[in-house]
Amino acid sequence: MTRNYGWVVVAAGAVITCVAMGAMFALPVYLQPMATDTGWTRAGISLAMTIGFIVMGVAGFGWGALSDRIGARPVVLMAAGLLGAGLFIASRATDLWVFQFAYGGLVGASGGAFFAPIISATLGWFDKNRGLAVSLVSVGAGIAPMVITPFASYLIQGYGWRSAMLWIAMAAVVVMVPAALLIRRAPAALNAPAVAPASAPVAKQPSAAWSALKTPQFIILATVFFLCCGAHSGPIFHTVSYAMICGASAMGAASLYSIEGVAGLFGRLLFGTLADRLGVRRVIVGGLALQAIGIYCYIYLSELNQFYILALVLGLAYGGVMPLYSVLAREYFGPGVMGTVLGAMTMTSSFGMALGPLGGGWLFDTFGTYHWLYIASAAIGLGGAALALAFPAANRGAGGTMAEPQPA
């Protein structure tokens, strides 16, 4: 097995994240036919997605810690089965609470298993081009809405929402299981330091993992990740409504999501390449600053074309920055604790994502305008950029932290 096998892991990870995230986030296209067929309220159906976000964040921490012990492959295989089971039960549900449990609980829990374990396994294969490798894995999640969502819509039109969800459940398992079998741990030699200090203790689990979560490196990294997601979650969720208030049609406003998604794909590749060349900390700070400035500019928009331009900028910024937190984590922590570290980061980012929709709705209801949402989100984003300037240098310490600082 050679170092080049890492690119096989990257390809397998991109396929898995595309199918898994696409299957989970396709719920909006089921919403109308489900409400018509079952009589369930839209709020009740949508609550399954809210439950899924919360469960995904909490479960991601557990899946990440488990992957440190048994590896990414068995974790992803178990999660693939859980995803298929959740979608199957949801497709057969005749009671709303059963659907919410299956889609929000089971499918949401499975969704937490694909980021931390796969990224952890990917990082182990690379000492160079880490930014590009991680960004390519995350491209799968960016492509998902462009692939799985139209496919689900096509199936719904032809066969109904229950059959569509059932077939996607079966297809997801059929695709993900073979791809998961390609994921392997990197040989220990690839992760060994060039010169091992004689006094360096051998990291043990789970004590090293829990120690890593107490380090300044992790605390600052997780806080910046939380602020980043807290900054863009509100604008992502509410901008379609804001564009419609400004006179855009429903279809024109909804297309902002597609523009942000396409821009995010290019952002992942661009920022990943820049991180390998300029240093990941420098690129994260720049991306966070660009995101905050772009969010603030929303208060000056009035025409749909202006929304499109800003969607390109923001999609590029937050889409490019998001994968880089795991690259920086690998500079701080050794491979033996990466699953736990990335799982904990996933949990904090999920809480940040949950902040924006609720906070934005409250601000609009209170002040009758979305301007305060964008001002508050921009301030949160600038706070994240400022805190990112305090990223500690990477050094060997408690919890398996890595050696040798990288240039900012």
**Tell me: the pLDDT tens digits for 197-229?**
444 444 444 457 788 888 999 999 999 999 999
Q: How far apart are CA 311 and CA 261, in angstroms?
A: 9
Q: Which one has a higher pLDDT value, 405 or 392?
A: 392
The reported pTM is 0.73
* Higher local confidence (pLDDT), 285 or 186: 285
- Bridge partners (DSSP) of residue 401 are 333
Residue 398 has pLDDT above 60, yes or no: no
Indicate the pLDDT class of residue 305, thresholds 50, 70 and 90: very high
Most confident by average pLDDT, 48-52, 258-262, 278-282: 278-282
Sequence-distant (6+) residues with CB within 8 A of 276 are 128, 129, 130, 131, 132
- Round to whole Å and give the CA distance between 312 and 310: 5
Per residue in 138-150, is it b (16+ CB within 10 Å) or e — as a string? bbbbbbbbeebbe
| Helix, strand or coil, per DSSP, at residue 241 | helix
Which domains are seen in the chain, by residue range? 5-186 (1.20.1250.20), 207-388 (1.20.1250.20)
Question: Could you tell me which residue, 271 or 44, shows the higher pLDDT?
Answer: 271
Q: Which two tokens stand for residue 338?
A: 């990466």
Query: What is the arithmetic mean of pLDDT over 97-102?
Result: 94
Task: Identify the pLDDT of residue 180.
Answer: 94
**For 12-26, 39-53, 315-329, which range has the lowest pLDDT when averaged over its residues?**
39-53
Rounded-to-integer distance, Cα 139 and Cα 372, Å: 32
Confidence (pLDDT) at 404: 38
Other C-beta atoms lying within 10 Å of the C-beta of residue 243: 27
Q: What angle do CA 168, 172, 174 make, to 5 degrees?
A: 115
Give the separation between CA 384 and CA 378, rounded to whole angstroms: 10
Tell me what the pLDDT averaged over the chain comes to. Answer: 84
- Nearest CA among 262, 264, 240 for reference residue 252: 240
Instruction: Report whether 288 contacts 388 (CB < 8 A).
Output: yes
Question: Is residue 175's pLDDT more than 80?
Answer: yes
Q: What residue has token string 């899924």?
A: 52
- Cβ(267)–Cβ(316) under 8 Å? yes
How would residue 265 be classed by pLDDT, with cut points 50, 70 and 90?
Answer: confident
Tokens of 141: 């999640």
User: Which of 84-93, 200-209, 244-253 comes out lowest in average pLDDT?
Assistant: 200-209
Whether pLDDT at 399 is above 50: no
Q: What distance in Å separates the CA atoms of residue 30 and residue 49, rounded to the nearest whole number?
A: 12
Sign of CA dihedral 293, 294, 295, 300: positive
402 has pLDDT over 50: no
Q: Which residue has the tokens 């004590």?
A: 207
C-alpha 177/C-alpha 306 separation (Å) is 43
User: What pLDDT score was predicted for residue 287?
Assistant: 96
Band the pLDDT of 405: cuts 50, 70, 90. Answer: very low
3-class SS string, 158-176: HHCHHHHHHHHHHHHHHHH
Separation between Cα atoms, residue 253 and residue 243, nearest integer Å: 6
Q: Do the Cβ atoms of 400 and 334 come closer than 8 Å?
A: yes
**Chain-centroid distance, C-alpha 112:** 9
Nearest to 323 by CA among 147, 144, 136, 186: 136
Question: Which of 133, 61, 71 is CA-nearest to residue 323?
Answer: 133
